[in-house]
Amino acid sequence: MGRQVAAAVVHLDGKILITRRAPGKKLAGMWEFPGGKLEHEETPQTCITREHGFRQG
């Protein structure tokens, strides 16, 4: 099985959050929804929080 990933669509006050890939990285400058690759036994929610520092609650 391939690598599992998680992504979030954050919609608040009529706006949608997107992120831009960092310079020097694969697909640098491209826009994407926040997300990342899941670590072993990690939930999608935990992955997104870890990757982007989102606070839950």
Q: Where are the domains of the chain?
A: 5-52
Other C-beta atoms closer than 10 Å to the C-beta of 47 total 20
Q: Count of alpha carbons within 13 Å of 1, Cβ hemisphere only?
A: 3
Instruction: Give yes or no for residue 4 having a pLDDT over 60.
Output: yes
Instruction: Give yes or no for residue 56 having a pLDDT over 80.
Output: no
The reported pLDDT for the residue numbered 39 is 94
Instruction: Give yes or no for residue 9 having a pLDDT over 70.
Output: yes
Give CA–CA dist 24/18, Å, rounded: 19
What are the start-end ranges of the H helices in the chain? Answer: 44-52
The reported pLDDT for the residue numbered 54 is 67
Residue 31 vs residues 18, 39, 48: alpha-carbon distances, Å: 7, 23, 16
User: The whole model's pTM is what?
Assistant: 0.71
| Mean pLDDT score, 39-54 | 89
Q: Are 48 and 6 in contact (CB under 8 A)?
A: yes
The reported pLDDT for the residue numbered 41 is 93
